[in-house]
Chains A and B, each alone.
Chain A
């Protein structure tokens, strides 16, 4: 009967505890009989029973059992030591008082001992929880991979909350691969690996899990996104005591911090790698640039020297002038190739700064006039100051390339114009001419690298080839668009836009 009561309260009591009650009452009765035989007063016997009640409540875990035994002790006192003897009856009225006091005292004692025991056990449990949290924090801090962190954390959380836990998480640094770890109270830790071939995202797993209504979930943020989700059966989650719930929250926070640490360490490593690659790349480019510039300087300078030594009607003068012209062409080709190579890694190379459009245009106009002596450029720019985040040097090169192209397809008296408009969120540049225009069959290919008009022979060196390709690369690296069209009334028009807002900067 007592055993049943125990089960109902939900406490597990060993069998030993069941026998302690009767043993103490029998013992008290024996001692009482002994006192009676040497004629000690009954009050002493009552005290002995009280002692037995205290002993019982120390060894017993449950209120109800202790209370029942305190009644038992009183009844036993009544049965054996008060008149009428060996019967449950009250002969003397004064015994009513004795019994009442005895029952009350034993009840109070029982309750007090039980309360002390309860707080001791709560304190012990808290200490144990804190110890587990501490161990988890320590182990997780030493873990080097996401898998390790999750395995440790899931096990710790399962042990702490004494529940079954499932955790879905992204195991790689790019959040592409998903894994699942499971902790059940009997099975301990088990890792379920999803096959690599089946690409399942964390979101898909979460959507699936959320359809199961009897599941409670906690999302774990690390690296700026949800990188793990912890699931627990709903009824177990509801049963969690306050302290366990608190411990769970602390554990989740630790988990998120630890994952964040691993991600940022990885990112730092990758950044360093990229920086190294970038350094290598730029020193290579610098070396190439240097090695090409030096001989070009020599060629051009020496040819100038020959021109200075000869008369313009001398054949050698003409030859030297041609050498200079070729060297200049080679120089512009080299600049284009270098910039194109740099732009391949555009967001590293672009040095965007707020620049005034009028300054860029002024530089372009100055260079145009130097290159095309006697040619006029019609310039139209907004009166107001327009500032755009660009790599000014590259935009200058785009405009120069477009103007060079226009020069090539016009004769001396055909107009070339450069127009800048401010649109809503962008600036539009238009380079237009009244020259030969673009062949319709060339139109789809003109921004391709090394494409020159089909009419020219393939070794006609002065074809643009690279020039328009680099225009496209530069404009697109800035987040803009470039296009080409033929104009009504003859001539070609190249236009490109540059966004006013700095969009693709990290």
Chain B
């Protein structure tokens, strides 16, 4: 495991972007495969060893969104979207379909590498531990069997809704959970897009776990898209 370096598939039709992504990935020791169309991407993932996909949405043949949809029917491979589409709607859509992360162009390679590390960790965690009864993030820990949440060793009391929100985010730590999917998970489908209740719930939860809500340590806001629990 120690020397294993992940194979990353870059799906991108712009030559220059492909070049610098593969350069910085190889610099970090990853193995790179490069394709420029959606159909070749699906073929490669199905037939070769690939651990992670970096996917551009504006591909010449199939829309990247459809690539995610097709992929998710049979594969759980981490997908990081890099796209020139800056609309929140597209972002949330890709995440809800199962993309692990979304980077809007232009981005720096440092940022991309950080996201790749998170996604890889995520994948490994998924492989090694099937079901964790206790999840720990920094000083925060959630015991799912006992339904106890502690912060720096002290138990904190959450309402049932706050507990549900907390478990949803901590189980998906490192990943953006979209506003729509939080609402659907907590209030059920048909509740629509009423964000007011969620904002209020989130404010209540943050007041219990964050020292300073203007500088959150645990739950980050992805404006217009959703929330993300930090990894450590």
Select which of A327, A358, A392 is within 8 A of B213 by beta carbon: A358
Contact B106 A293 (CB under 8 A): yes
B199 touches A387 (CB 8 A): yes
| CB neighbours of A379 from chain B (8 A) | 214-215
Judge if A308 is at the interface, Cβ distance under 8 Å: yes
Assign chain A's interface to a size class.
35 or more
Q: Are B24 and A305 in contact (CB under 8 A)?
A: yes
Residue A462 CB within 8 A of the other chain: no
Interfacial chain B residues near A290, Cβ < 8 Å: 58, 84-85
Known contacts A296-B106, A300-B106, A327-B106; is A362 also within 8 Å of B221 by CB?
yes
Q: CB-CB contacts of B12-52 with A at 8 A, as 1s and 0s?
A: 00101101110110010000000000000000000000000
CA–CA, A295 to B14, complex, Å? 9
Q: How far is the CA of A396 from the CA of B24 in the complex (A)?
A: 31
- B157 contacts the other chain (Cβ, under 8 Å)? no
A125 CB–B CB distance under 8 Å: no
Interface segment out of the listed A59-67, A248-256, A348-356, A489-497: A348-356
B178 to chain A, nearest CB (A): 13
Within 8 A of B (CB), among A399-448: none
Inter-chain contact B105/A294, CB cutoff 8 Å: yes
A305 to B21, CA, bound (A): 9
Size category of the B interface is 35 or more
Contacting pair B223 A297 (CB below 8 A): no
B137: interface (CB < 8 Å): no
Interface 1/0s, chain A 345-369, versus B by CB < 8 A?
A: 0000001011110111111011000
Within 8 Å of chain B (Cβ to Cβ): is A272? no
A308 to B213, CA, bound (A): 37
Determine whether the beta carbon of A354 is less than 8 Å from that of B216. no
Q: Are A301 and B20 in contact (CB under 8 A)?
A: yes
Known contacts A289-B84, A304-B108, A353 near B195 by CB under 8 Å = yes
Q: From A289, A295, A308, A366, give the contact of B24 (CB < 8 A).
A: A308
**Complex contacts, B87 vs chain A, CB 8 Å:** 286
Does A483 sit at the interface, judged by CB under 8 A?
no
Closest to B224 in A: A393
* Closest chain A residue to B20, Cβ basis: A301
Minimum CB–CB distance for B86 against chain A, Å: 6
Render A209-248 as a binary contact track against B, CB cut-off 8 A, 1 for contact. 0000000000000000000000000000000000000000
Closest 4 CB pairs of A and B: A301-B20, A298-B16, A293-B84, A354-B196
A-B contact pairs, 10 of them (CB 8 A): A286-B87, A293-B86, A297-B105, A301-B20, A301-B109, A327-B106, A331-B106, A351-B88, A358-B203, A359-B221
Binding site for A on B (CB under 8 A): 14, 16-17, 19-21, 23-24, 27, 58, 84-88, 104-110, 193, 195-196, 199-200, 202-204, 206, 213-216, 220-221, 223-224
